Amino acid sequence: MSMSKIRKTAGALCLVFLTFQMNGQQESPYQINWKKDLAVLGGSAGLFSVGFALANGVDPLSVEEISLLDRRDVVGFDRSATRRYSTTASDISDGLLLTSIVLPFSLVAGKKIRSNLGSTALLLGESFFITAGITNIAKGLTKRTRPFAYNSEVPIEKKTGNSTRLSFFSGHVSSSAVLSFFTAKVYSDYYPDSKFKPLVWTAAATLPAVTALHRYLAGKHYPSDVLAGYVVGALTGYFVPHFHKKKRAGKNLHVIPTTNLNGGQSMTFLLTF
């Protein structure tokens, strides 16, 4: 399954999610300004479109250019990836990404989140399109050759597509990370005292990491590609909801006059939240 098809699927699911009720009936931990946030969503979708156009406009490598590739030109940290190639690992990474796409929809199991689906969907759309836009723009501007192009055991016809020059950074990993971290963050904000939070965050961190490993084993990406994808996706998935959180009530200091047992006056300082 191609990355473009996977992203279109994720985008469509975000829009379907957004069609649910727009006004929550239970208290939400997020402050949504619909006018501003819908503008941000539109801007992030525009960012995605620009990145998509850039990535799809990259010219493929010619057979002559492929023949001149030398793995010794790849920095040492990344060079091991040029010896990797596995269609099985590639298929597994596709499956892991599809699993990540489903994750945010598991949030509807919670009654609090179900009653605020509109705002949750809005944040999900912002997070996903920002990440996908940044990813595609990076791919279209850097035009980095994928590691499998350096591998003489890979058939030449696999190397001549334009996606061969879209290595930096990993879209599978950035998408998996943003969806996983978004799910964990929203769950934690709605259920801050849940005993399942450690499990949720462990799963959120592990799924994109395993996806990254299989993209490396498939020969699709260098270690630096998957690291960058992980960081961008994780930060976006965490901070988009975080920046929308309602501010907690401030601490208030109250001074209360009291009388002690000896008839003297004193002051009691009461700190409330």
Q: Model confidence over 181-238: pLDDT tens digits?
A: 999 999 999 999 999 999 999 999 999 999 999 999 999 999 999 999 999 999 999 9
Q: What is the mean pLDDT of the chain?
A: 88
> Mean pLDDT over residues 128-154, rounded?
97
Torsion 224-44-200-215 (CA) sign: negative
pLDDT at 118 > cutoff 80: yes
SS3 letters for 20-78? Answer: CCCCCCCCCCECCCHHHHHHHHHHHHHHHHHHHHHHHCCCCCCHHHHHCCCHHHCCHHH
Place 27 in a pLDDT band, splitting at 50, 70 and 90. Answer: confident
> What's the pLDDT tens digit per position in 157-174?
999 999 999 999 999 999
Place of tokens 């690291």: 227
Give the contacts of 131 (CB within 8 A, at least 6 positions apart): 174, 175, 177, 178, 232, 233, 236, 237
pLDDT at 247: 84
Roughly what angle, to the nearest 10 degrees, separates helices 171-190 and 3-18?
20
Least confident range of 5-9, 56-60, 61-65:
5-9
Instruction: Encode burial over 77-94: b for 16+ CB neighbours within 10 A, e otherwise.
Output: ebbebbebbbeebbebbb
pLDDT at 254 > cutoff 90: no
* CA 197 to mean position of chain CA atoms: 19
Number of structural domains (the chain) is 1
pLDDT at 261 > cutoff 70: no
Give me the DSSP letters along the chain.
--HHHHHHHHHHHHHHHHTS-SS-SS--SB---HHHHHHHHHHHHHHHHHHHHHHHTPPPPPHHHHHT--GGGS-HHHHGGGG---HHHHHHHHHHHHHHHHGGGGGGGSHHHHTTHHHHHHHHHHHHHHHHHHHHHHHHHH-PPPGGGG-TTS-GGGTSSGGGG--SS-HHHHHHHHHHHHHHHHHHHH-TT-TTHHHHHHHHHHHHHHHHHHHHHTTS--HHHHHHHHHHHHHHHHHHHHHTBPPPPPPEEEEEEEE-TTS-EEEEEEEE-
pLDDT at 21 > cutoff 50: no
Least confident range of 40-44, 85-89, 110-114, 138-142:
110-114
pLDDT at 93: 98
Q: How far apart are CA 89 and CA 221, in angstroms?
A: 12
Range of the structural domain that residue 235 is part of:
3-272
pLDDT at 249 > cutoff 60: no
Whether the link from the prior residue into 169 is cis, omega within 30° of 0, is yes
Q: Do the beta carbons of residue 105 and residue 13 sit within 8 Å? A: yes
